[in-house]
Amino acid sequence: MGGVSEGDDVLARWSDGLLYLGNVKRVDGVKQCCLVRFEDNSEFWVLRKDIHSFSVGVEEVCCICDAPPLKEPLINCLKCRHCYHPECHTPSIEPEADSNSWICRQCVFAVATKRGGAIKRGRFARLMQIMKLRLPYQLSSLDWDPQHLTNQQQCYCYCAGPGEWNLKMLQCGSCGQWFHEACTQCLTKPLLYGDRFYEFQCSVCANGPETIQRLPMSWVDLAHLVLYHLSLCCKRKYFDFDHEIMSFANENWDSLLLGSLSDTPRQDRCHNLLNALNSNKDRFVSGKEIKKKKCLFGLQVRAPPPLTSDSSPLITDPPINITQRRSHLECISIAKRRCVCPNF
């Protein structure tokens, strides 16, 4: 497999859109993937498309097509020193580009992406916005499931990396593609897991900066979202109403961006949330129904809250098996150090 060999240190793009440092232990040229050992000694297979190598070959060839210079010389990235044909890079490299200052798409995203949303100011923020006007793949070539949640190629977002739609991703209302929280520049607050209550348009469809608008939420939606988020974070089904559900809601009240619910006095929030949990048995189950404490609540089905625009009342198909693939949650739990290209 061109460009990557056993023993190489690499950056692997994960399903959260971020890059993590690892070492290649095995290379499968047939399946176009590598077994990567990460800094916590865990090992996972990563698709070649999601691996960014530090190594630069002796021969000067394009890192995209592996071909030598053609009519025009190759352009070197200032940071990673990888070479590109001007037309192989997305977007195409301008004729006046200088190898002493030009930075490739991979390195721009390595610097600009972060949890909670990409950087919004500075040189790399501006470069990222330019890069985001075009996708580095053909959207029409992706094979989607019937609900348009996952594709076979595991290709999402501006970065073309893997993703899990229910783990902090936004779906563009125009093209239907899913985008990582870490790669978007429009968010004012971090996403919760399963939070799809946004009307979002990507930079490609907007032909400029992304647009986003918070959708209205009901108390039932809020209760469902909090329970779903807690169930993924804590890997439990049932949560104490006062000490966990209500506590989480109050501590994150401003970040939840609840619209008309935002002005609810603190003393009234408890009544409204408790009423939502007790009055919607199709969504929630209480502890007293399963001979546990009545102050405990959980979801009937661990799935994100549905939108009114959903064709089905509730998405119950399980997301990608997060016990077999390294999820965003696992990356957080091991406190893996995020790395970017050298010299940043």
pLDDT band at 2 (very low <50, low <70, confident <90, very high): low
pLDDT at 77: 93
pLDDT in tens, 115-140: 999 999 999 999 999 999 999 999 99
pLDDT at 338: 40
Mean pLDDT of 36-40: 95
Average pLDDT, the chain: 88
pLDDT above 90: residue 315: no
pLDDT in tens, 200-255: 999 999 999 999 999 999 999 999 999 999 999 999 999 999 999 999 999 999 99
pLDDT at 88: 93
Q: What is d(CA 57, CA 54) in angstroms, rounded to the nearest whole number?
A: 10
- Bigger pLDDT: 186 or 2? 186
pLDDT at 59: 74
Work out the percent of the chain whose per-residue pLDDT is above 90: 76
Work out the percent of the chain whose per-residue pLDDT is above 70: 88
pLDDT at 316: 47
- Bigger pLDDT: 44 or 54? 44
Query: Please, which residues bridge with residue 38 across strands?
Result: 22
Three state DSSP letters for 139-160: HHHCCECCCCCCECCCCECCCC
Mean pLDDT of 308-327: 45
Q: What is d(CA 269, CA 278) in angstroms, rounded to the nearest whole number?
A: 14
What token pair was written down for 160?
A: 């073309």
pLDDT in tens, 69-94: 887 789 999 998 899 999 999 999 99
The CA angle 85-86-87, to the nearest 5 degrees, is 90
- Bigger pLDDT: 173 or 1? 173
- Bigger pLDDT: 202 or 336? 202
pLDDT at 66: 86
pLDDT at 72: 79
The H or E element spanning position 13 is strand 9-13
What domains does the chain contain, in order, with CATH numbers? 1-55 (2.30.30.140)
pLDDT at 120: 97
Helices (H), 182-304: 203-206, 219-234, 247-251, 266-279
Closest by CA to 46, choosing from 178, 155, 179, 162, is 162
